[in-house]
Amino acid sequence: HKPAADGARGLRFAPVAPNTADQVTVPSGYGQNVVIRWGEPILRGAPAFDSENQTAAAQAGQFGYNNDFLSLLPLRGEYGKQVLVANHEYTDEILMFRGYDAENPTREQVEIAWAAHGLSVVVVQEERRTGKLTPVTRHYLNRRLHTTSEFELTGPAAGSALVRTSADPEGRTVLGTLNNCAGGTTPWGTTLHGEENFNQYFANGSSETDKRYGMVPGASERKWERFDKRFDLAQEPNESHRFGWVVELDPYDPRSTPRKRTALGRFKHEAAQPRLTADGRPVVYMGDDERFDYFYKFVSSKRMMKGSSRRAREHNLTLLDEGTLYVAKLTGDSPAAEIDGTGKLPNDGEFDGSGTWIPLATAGPDGAVSHVPGMTAEEVFVFTRVAGDKAGATKMDRPEDVEPSPRSGRVYVALTNNKDRGKAGKAPADEANPRNANKHGQVLELAEHWDDPSSDGFAWRLFLVAGDPNDPATYFAGYPKEKVSPISCPDNVAFDPHGNLWISTDGNQLGSHDGLFGVATHGERRGELKQFLTVPKGAETCGPIIQDRRVLVAVQHPGEIDGASVENPASTWPDGPGKIVRPSVVAVWRTDGRDIGV
């Protein structure tokens, strides 16, 4: 494959070849720095990282583990500074603690893991003439939110009997956010954080709904239930109903309590990215990352107020509490017989069709209404997957991150893979999910009717069918495949200032490491996909942000290989031999100081 060094504006760089180097590899002419690592102190009083003397108290003031979603927000009045918000999805105890015994974790190890989850807010300073960023420790906006921090439940399920527990009989105050995967940044200056695989933290699942959300009988993997009974569903059956939400954080108010927005439904939220209607109402697109789960949107009934006045900010913090939650049903336009499960294009030359948004429930100022027969509105919001089942939503190949194009309004959905597609008793290939035993995933492009994000119907087509371009079962928007980079398992998506889509991957099935790719979405080069960077061994690439002069990525779970441990590391990135592997954020820029890819 010979992707060219020229390309669409924003993508003019010499592509990085697939590789297995234990480092971040960037195009020639580009530089990089590690912006912040797991364990670096960000709060006043937090000590420097010491891998051999970790404590929960130290971790609560340090950058958390396994950075995933990233957002960079402007900071007016402070020259060269921006606010970085990061998700810390989960902990890899075996890579964090020397001699970790998974059957018998200590209380200190468990409490360190609690403090290493959640969110970080840290102000970063840019270096003149490069894209290098460094953390501003002890800035007044810096913040850590983790498993014992307070969160407020808001919206239609707040206070419901389904979310009350012995510690919180009102059902409105939750301790902690867990498994924050991807997220989004709102036009009103807040960040959204998906609570994804929260099921793994709970022991002794037993109900039908527990099962639908992946909570099973027996102990949890991390044994947290031994140290706090709320993680034992046999003792606190409703505690898990308080996770699996979208969290909204106001990073500009360091004293604010983050909110879990129940109007956006409860599932394994990968991400949440808003777009405004013509009259200023936010529409939030959201994927449920599980094999055969659904794609959703929430349409607010309230308009955003412009400006940064106190009144506007307070109003905008209510936008995600009232509106309608929908689930997507996709119908292909080619005869079913032409979708044979191999990925062969149907006779009309495209995997495409139409779709409908099925309303599930509406939250209003005077209460909520269910649109699903047999379920109350509160049940729809808390057991949204069950509502999607009853509504006949389309079973997708793991909907991960989603991003509306700021230029065209088209919405791009990463469907990462689905090894079970077409297996006995499982859904077979359909036009939107056209490969059985789908190893490499696809990217769907959705166009709302009349370009109105609140529309109840849309057109869709597959933009990419990922894999080795030599594999006939791949598709790059019709672009000549000899000119593109191979890509596998799209996960996070972002747009650059030129309207190109950038895609980061998790779980590359082509034998090389994960990475970050840019692809043109319009013009003659639509579909020309080029690899921009690769990450170290065992890592996935997360949180991409593409600014004019800088690319930011989160390198998540480096060294996470079966059998690896602190004593037997698979990766020593970023600090080198003899040092513990550390998930970190990396900035990349052009050494000649010009914009990325121009």
Residue ranges binding ligand FEO (CB under 6 A): 89, 181, 196, 270, 289, 400, 491
In whole angstroms, how far apart are CA 285 and each of 81, 274, 422?
A: 30, 6, 27
CB distance 273 to 71 below 8 Å: no
- Closest contact distance (angstroms) between CB of 399 and ligand FEO is 9
With 0-12 / 13-18 / 19 or more C-beta atoms within 10 angstroms meaning exposed / middle / buried, residue 561 is: middle
Q: 98: how many CB neighbours lie within 10 A of its CB?
A: 11
* Residue 560 lies near Ca ion (rule: CB under 5 A): no
> Minimal distance in Å, beta carbon 546 to ligand FEO?
20
CB of 38 to ligand FEO, least distance (A): 17
Task: Find which of Ca ion, ligand FEO, none residue 445 binds, CB within 5 to 8 Å per kind.
Answer: none
Query: Cβ neighbours of residue 124 under 8 Å, at least 6 residues apart?
Result: 35, 36, 72, 81, 82, 83, 84, 133, 134, 135, 136
Report in angstroms how near the CB of residue 290 gets to ligand FEO at its nearest.
9
- 246-249 vs 191-195, strand pairing mode: antiparallel
Residue 352: name its binding partner from Ca ion, ligand FEO, none (Cβ under 5 to 8 Å by kind).
Ca ion
Q: Do strands 81-88 and 118-126 pair parallel, antiparallel, or not at all (unpaired)? A: antiparallel
Q: Which of ligand FEO, Ca ion, none has residue 89 at its interface (CB below 5 to 8 Å by kind)?
A: ligand FEO
How far is it, in rounded angstroms, from Cα 215 to Cα 243?
12
196 binds, among ligand FEO, Ca ion, none (CB under 5 to 8 A by kind): ligand FEO
* Closer residue to ligand FEO, CB minimum distance, 500 or 505: 505
DSSP structural state of residue 341 = S
Residue 348 contact, options ligand FEO, Ca ion, none, Cβ 5-8 Å cut-off depending on partner type? Ca ion
Helix or strand or coil: residue 557? coil
Q: Between 168 and 400, whose beta carbon lies closer to ligand FEO?
A: 400
Of the two residues 117 and 498, which places its CB atom closer to Ca ion in the complex? 117
Residue 250, contacted partner among Ca ion, ligand FEO, none, CB below 5-8 A by kind? none
Structure tokens at 428: 């077979």
List, in sequence order, every residue forming a beta bridge with 515; answer none if it has no partner: 534
CB 289 → ligand FEO: shortest distance, Å?
Answer: 4
Look-up of token digits 């059998």: 563
Which lies closer to Ca ion via its Cβ, residue 160 or residue 180? 180
Residue 94 near residue 569 (C-beta atoms within 8 A): no
Q: Is 445 in the site for Ca ion (CB under 5 A)?
A: no
Judged by CB, which is closer to ligand FEO: 252, or 292?
292
For the bound state, the minimum distance from the C-beta of residue 181 to ligand FEO, rounded and expressed in Å, comes to: 3
CB nearer to Ca ion: give 375 or 503: 503
Q: Which stretch binds Ca ion (CB under 5 A): 73-81, 180-188, 357-365, 531-539?
A: 180-188
Closest CA to 133 of 504, 540, 553: 553
Chosen from Ca ion, ligand FEO, none, partner binding at 228 (C-beta under 5 to 8 Å by type) = none
- Residues numbered 498 to 527 that lie near Ca ion (CB under 5 A) are 506
Cross-strand partners of 418: 438
Q: How many residues bind Ca ion (CB under 5 A)?
A: 9
Nearest distance in Å: CB 560, ligand FEO: 13
Taking the complex as a whole, the smallest distance from the CB of residue 495 to ligand FEO amounts, in Å, to 19
The H-or-E segment that residue 284 falls in is strand 282-287
Query: What is the nearest approach in angstroms of ligand FEO to the Cβ of residue 576?
Result: 28
CB of 71 to ligand FEO, least distance (A): 16
Q: How many CB atoms lie within 10 A of CB 406?
A: 11
Give the contacts of 464 (CB within 8 A, at least 6 positions apart).
442, 443, 475, 476, 477, 487, 490, 503, 519, 527, 529
Contact map string, positions 101 to 140, toward Ca ion, x by CB under 5 A = ----------------------------------------
User: What is the closest distance, in whole angstroms, from the C-beta atom of residue 408 to ligand FEO in the complex?
Assistant: 25
| Piece of 14-22, 47-55, 208-216, 332-340 that binds Ca ion (CB under 5 A) | 332-340
List, in sequence order, every beta strand (DSSP E) within 429-534.
Answer: 442-448, 457-465, 475-476, 490-495, 501-505, 515-519, 529-534
328 binds Ca ion (CB under 5 A): no
Query: What's the CA gap between 479 and 548, in Å, rounded?
Result: 26
- Return the structure tokens found at 450: 């009349």
Question: Which range in 119-127, 165-173, 312-320, 334-342 contacts Ca ion by CB under 5 A?
Answer: 334-342
Which CB atom, from 210 or from 400, has the smaller least distance to ligand FEO? 400
CB 206 within 8 A of CB 186: no
User: What residues numbered 470-499 form the site for Ca ion, per CB under 5 A?
Assistant: 491
Geometric angle at alpha carbon 389, from 156 and 353, rounded to 5°? 105
Binding Ca ion (rule: CB under 5 A), the pick from 322, 333, 389, 456 is 333
Residue 540 CA to residue 559 CA, distance in Å, equals 10
User: Residue 444: how many CA atoms within 13 Å on its side-chain side?
Assistant: 32
* Binding residues vs Ca ion (CB under 5 A): 181, 333-334, 346, 348, 350, 352, 491, 506
